[in-house]
Chain A
Amino acid sequence: MTGQGQGFSLPWILLTAALVLHVPPTSGMYEDQIGKFDWHQQYIGAVRQAAFDQSAPVSKRIFVGTESNVVAAINSRTGQLAWRHVQERGDPWGVDAVLHKGNVLVTVCSGGDAVRAWDPASGTLLWEFLAKEKNDSPAKALLVEGRQDERSHVESVAVLTKKTLRILSAVDGHEMVSTEVWSSGETGGISVLHQASNGQLYAVSISSQAAVQIVSYTHVPGKGYEAVKRVIPAGWALPQSTQCVVTGDNILVCSEASTNSLHTISLVDGSGFTTVTLLSLGFNSWQPDSLAISAVQVGRKEVLLRLSQDHYVLLQATADTITVLKDLPNVYATTTARSQDRDIMFMVKKGTKDELVVTGFYLQNLKEDQALTQMIAHPLHYGSPQQVTVYTFLKRDGSTGYRALLQMEDQTLLMLQQLQGNQGHVMWQRNEALASISAVDQVDLPVSETESKFEEEFGEESEEDLSIWQMFTRRITTQLEQLKDLADKFEEYRKPKAKQVEKQLERDPFNLRKMIVAVTSAGKLYGLDSANGDIVWQYFLPNIRCFGQGEMYLFVQRTTAHFPHPPQAMLVAQDKATGNGLVFTFNPTTGQPVNASAVSGILQPFKVLQAILLPVMNNHHLHPVMIVDSDHGVHIFPPSSSVLSVLKKNNGKIFLHAADLEKSTLTGFSLTTLKDGKVELAQAWHLSLPIPSQKIVSVVPRRANEHVHSQGRVLSDRSVMYKYLNPNLLAVMTEGIERDIPLLTLYLVDAVTGQVVYSMQHKRASGPVHLVHSENWVVYHYWNGKFRRHEVTVLELFESQGDRNSTTFSSLSTQSLPLVLQQAYIFPMGLSAMAVSNTERGITARSLLLALPNGGLMTLPKNILDPRRPIIPTKQHQEEGVYPYIPELHVNPMTLLTYNQSIEGIRGIHIGAAGLESTSVVLAYGLDLFYTRIMPSQMFDVLKEDFDYFFISSILLGLVMATLITHRLAAMKTLNRSWR
């Protein structure tokens, strides 16, 4: 008994002892390093609703609801965020409604399932109402006003979803009324909520059965709401193409895009629709999908009809007639605002030249007021204006002044202020497209002018055909130019102000400064300076969108390393209109298109299945991009003869794989060049995964041209475990359910032969899975359903037997399977992204970067996730430097790169290698952008920034002084001695 007890407790004693002795090192940052290497930009996403603050007399804020599910308040003077709340994720349309009146601010999210009231000043939650309907379309919402003591106040909030109408108290959010809109069996299409001036509430829904249902709710004090339902046949109504509004005098106006017609009815007593075709009004819409109708303002009788992107018509509707009030051509967006008891309609128009004109007219007399006009320059990279919100105020001279918030096609927000003389002024702008980055890369900056001259002289291009004399003159001229540069530098040093500003971005000595090239789902391309996040260039492609999985392909075909060839990048995206592929080549350091005639990309006649950068270069150092179309045809970009000859040389040596996520199969192809110069894919292998219910969730290859410095691990007995470094290894993760038990399976597949090197299964485990694959190891994070916790498993692969040719790897010649070591650890949190650090030569130890759900970005040294960590540590393990196994990993706040900042909604982490071996540069992107540097093995190649120069130099100086003084003393002493 006792013996057993001892046997059991001994390892635990050892473990605790080892725990105390062996605390893994942390490398936190110091407080004075805040903002030195890192920057953080907060975004909110494309704005759907905006409302100027009315709660305070001096309005400073704009409340917005965005497509990224963010409710925020923006300071209207600076563009900074006053507060921001990210709501529940999951809806493609974002926030349903932002309702603001007086002191009430209510937001509706998740298709009407989450209604929240906020304190406008602090952004604190006042009340919330949560439901679980899970609607697939946005809800309509309205602030219902009641009258008390001749003053109207917000009484309740009405929310109309596809299924129910709810009326919630504006005071505490309790549900006052909840009624089913449709009797069972029917489903509603689009709907409208309207409150008449007498307080009656109307809910209008259009069903798929060609009927319009009007429900009126009358508030009966003491009893609640009384509902009266009317169903009116409407044979013209199609839920997909119909839009409806209600005017101030309770007329329902619907526009129907497929027949280009308008339909009106009185909400109070109408029994049938009156139909008016657009043609009879003298208009027609040539862009049926942009036909839209909107009410001008609560209480006004006019309605506004959008015929196309830049053509509006102001209409007046009665129960049986529609009259045209004003034709508004060349207008992008309109809004109304009230000033001095007059309703003004503001509109954003196309100017005579490349400019935008914001102007306004009074709705009473339809007269334009020249004093309200302002003009701003309209750079092409913004696209056309989409939405405008105006806030009016009284100027000191009694006239009306206004500020306009403009949302552009590229999701940029512009705040306009009117200066004197109809001159507009952009107070601030927010580049909200950066909240939805879909592809990103970090590109080295071009070398400085002097260095590029060296390149010019000694670069390989100049080697040929130069006589000694020519080379000599070249040398002399270069040296003269260098002398001139030196003189220029002195001049600059004396007068620092002049040239500095226009100077192009240059590479720094350690190549720490990069150009971040970001492609956003809005079609906007940005070049950001990684030193501070400033925008260096921007470019707008209005006609692109992401592929089905939310991705675009961005390839750097040629880096800046090949002077005098300019760097080149290629974007492969989908065309909005046709769904075909679109290819855009540009210079990643300047953002200029390579082909001046293809400013918005080249439309391809095929649909893109996959695009990859080929690992070969032509004689201009350009990596070709291969696009596989949906019929497995191959297209090479650029299709020049030099590229094809390179491909011919590598015939049969290039392999690629395709994963069919639906059928969960993997297929390997090899690229073959035919005699007539055509390139084809030949199937090399095909692998269908054994369990049919499994779905492939991720296929992660090793990073292309990854440097691995050490080939093995030295054990304490001086033997070496050689790493299994297969550059063609794929980690394939599948998720499935077998006999009601969720199941994760990892396959390690050789991409050239299709051989399954290893597979392993986790029962009762499920995703989301985050997987990282580097060197000879794979780390993945998943949810363990059995123990209800997240776990991280590490797999490390080693060569199983003796020597082999380690300099060249060939998948075709390997026979033996590797030795796999693995261990699992408990991780206390879920993750939103995971990545691994990457340095130039791979000498530095690797570190994992984990994006935590609380907005932190954590570093975890890879040597903590080591499958060789022993449960019972021995002296040999200590000698090797392996920590004893502890099942639980902890989140140490000192390992958070983000310190006390929360990076919301991280979707990806991009890591670039700096010129310094010790350093990697990290960009975390999602809703926010965060950039920093990491040094996984500390800064071993540069003096630390806290290096005490003063101390060292004072000691040195002291020693020199001491030497001099003692020398003098010694001389005196010898003199004295000789006198004695």
Chain B
Amino acid sequence: MEIAKGGQSYLILLVLMNLAAVGRVLSQEDVSVGGGAVSSSAGWEEENGTGAAPTTFKVEGKAMVPGLKTLEWIGDAKIIVDHGAYLGFFRMDGSFSLYVPSGSFVVEVVSPTWAFEPARVDVTAKGKIRARKVNLLQIQKNDPLPYPLRFKSKGRINYFERREQWRITDFLFNHMVIMMVLPLVLLLILPKMINTNDPEMQREMQQSMNMLSPNKDLPDMSEFFTKMFGGGETKKTTTSRKVKRRQ
């Protein structure tokens, strides 16, 4: 007895929660539709549970892969309706036919290599057939497709990620490398490129220095430069001396 009572109280609880749940479902469906207004057009409504004997209608179509003969790709391809509810096989020329009852179906070409866009096929109770693009967000939207169905491959399916390869250019144009190498180049090579012994050059530089710093209030800059270039000279002389000695 006690158990039964407990069960009843749970039942009441359940009903309460069910109401709350229904409220949630509705709001959540609104979200998934994306706020679009949904109006049902009577003529293409799915007719389920009519009770009459199921009559089937023939849905026909053809698929192709540009640049390929039919036999080269249909070996492992097939047609599935509503994700496996019905099945179709390709004929030699890439055509297929399906037998479906009235309703709305998603027809897909399944191939492991080639990608195809699915199509939605609506069949009325009288057997009128139309095809349109699959739009899962707004199912009533009519983007008509030609009927009999024409499937054209969008191209190869890419299953793999490209592996990163180590290239010298990647390394060289890496910003860290550039940051480190450029100053190094400037520091080491630039002084060597400018022939400081050339008196004309020296004059030119002096001039540009003067141009740059006409202000005589900063004597230490020129001092610094003379020191630096002078230092270079002494270095050069020492090496040349060394060479001479060796000779």
Contacts and interface: CB of A to CB of B under 8 A. Distances in A.
Are A and B a genuine interacting pair, yes or no? yes
Q: How large is the interface on B (under 10, 10 to 19, 20 to 34, 35 or more residues)?
A: 35 or more
B218 interface: no
Interface in A18-44: 26, 28-32
Contact of B89 (A28, A128, A759, A786): A128
B160 A28 contact: yes
A787 B33 contact: yes
A828 B80 CA distance: 14
A93 interface: no
A826 B136 contact: yes
A690 B11 contact: yes
Contacts of B15: 690
Interface in B11-58: 11, 13-15, 17-18, 21-22, 24-25, 28-29, 31-34, 46, 48-49, 54-56
Q: How large is the interface on A (under 10, 10 to 19, 20 to 34, 35 or more residues)?
A: 35 or more
B141 to A, nearest CB: 12
Nearest to B96: A125
B50 to A, nearest CB: 12
A619 interface: no
B56 A871 contact: no
A900 to B, nearest CB: 4
Interface stretch (A82-90, A554-562, A568-576): A82-90
A511 interface: no
A756 B80 contact: no
Contacts of B166: 948, 951
B25 A789 contact: no
Contacts of A829: 83
Contact of B10 (A88, A124, A755): A755
A124 B112 contact: no
Given A30-B163, A789-B139, A893-B159, A126 B92 contact: yes
A830 B136 CA distance: 13
Contacts of B151: none
Contacts of B157: 893, 900
A130 B56 contact: yes
Contacts of B113: 900
A760 B21 contact: yes
A11 to B, nearest CB: 9
Contacts of A26: 161
Contact of B25 (A755, A762, A893): A762
A886 to B, nearest CB: 10
A124 B29 contact: no
A758 interface: yes
Contacts of B91: 124-127
A330 interface: no
B25 A761 contact: yes
Contacts of A116: 89
Contacts of B32: 791, 824-826, 887
B52 to A, nearest CB: 13
Nearest to A793: B28
A754 B161 contact: no
A683 B2 CA distance: 12
Nearest to B138: A787
A788 B139 contact: yes
A822 B158 CA distance: 33
Contacts of B7: 685-688
B84 interface: yes
A122 interface: yes
| B6, B89, B163: most-surrounded residue (chain A CB, <10 A) | B89
A124 B242 contact: no
Contact of B24 (A687, A822, A976): A822
B230 to A, nearest CB: 16
A642 to B, nearest CB: 34
B21 A788 contact: no
Interface string A965-980: 0000000000010001
Contacts of B115: 893
A829 B106 CA distance: 10
A748 to B, nearest CB: 10
B74 interface: yes
Interface string B147-179: 000000000011111111010000000000000
Interface in B75-127: 75-76, 78, 80, 82-84, 86-87, 89-92, 97, 99, 104, 108, 110, 112-113, 115
Interface string A902-927: 10000000000000000000000000
Given A685-B6, A855-B112, A946 B163 contact: yes
B238 A894 contact: no
A761 B21 contact: yes
Nearest to A902: B112
A127 B92 CA distance: 10
B234 to A, nearest CB: 10
Contacts of B201: none
Interface string A779-793: 000001111111101
Nearest to A899: B159
A550 to B, nearest CB: 19
Nearest to B26: A763
A871 B13 contact: no
| B29, B55, B56, B242: most-surrounded residue (chain A CB, <10 A) | B29
Contacts of B211: none
A830 B81 CA distance: 11
A785 B47 CA distance: 11
| A29, A124, A896, A902: most-surrounded residue (chain B CB, <10 A) | A124
B3 interface: yes
Contacts of A787: 29, 33, 136, 139
A42 to B, nearest CB: 11
Nearest to A946: B163
B14 A763 contact: no
B238 A980 contact: yes
A187 interface: no
A30 B22 CA distance: 45
Contact of A132 (B6, B97, B99, B136): B99
A853 B84 contact: yes
Nearest to B158: A893
A760 B29 contact: no
A125 B90 contact: yes
B31 A756 contact: no
Contacts of B28: 793, 822-824
B84 A832 contact: yes
A738 to B, nearest CB: 11
A758 B84 contact: no
Contacts of B34: 887
A523 B216 CA distance: 103
Contact of B136 (A130, A871, A888): A888
Nearest to B140: A787
A123 interface: yes
Contacts of B29: 784, 786-787, 824
Given A761-B25, A763-B22, A853-B84, A887 B139 contact: no
A128 B75 CA distance: 17
13 contacts: A30-B162, A124-B91, A126-B92, A128-B89, A685-B7, A759-B14, A761-B22, A784-B29, A853-B80, A887-B137, A893-B157, A901-B112, A902-B76
Given A125-B91, A761-B21, A894-B159, 12 more contacts: A32-B163, A116-B89, A122-B71, A132-B54, A686-B4, A754-B6, A759-B17, A759-B18, A759-B21, A853-B84, A871-B31, A901-B112
Interface of A: 26, 28-32, 83, 85-88, 116, 119, 122-128, 130, 132, 683, 685-690, 740, 745, 747, 754-756, 758-763, 784-791, 793, 822-826, 828-830, 832, 853-855, 871, 885, 887-888, 893-894, 896, 899-902, 946, 948, 951, 976, 980
Q: Top 4 nearest A-B pairs by Cβ distance?
A: A830-B83, A760-B21, A899-B159, A125-B89
Interface of B: 3-4, 6-7, 10-11, 13-15, 17-18, 21-22, 24-25, 28-29, 31-34, 46, 48-49, 54-56, 71, 74-76, 78, 80, 82-84, 86-87, 89-92, 97, 99, 104, 108, 110, 112-113, 115, 136-137, 139, 157-164, 166, 238, 242
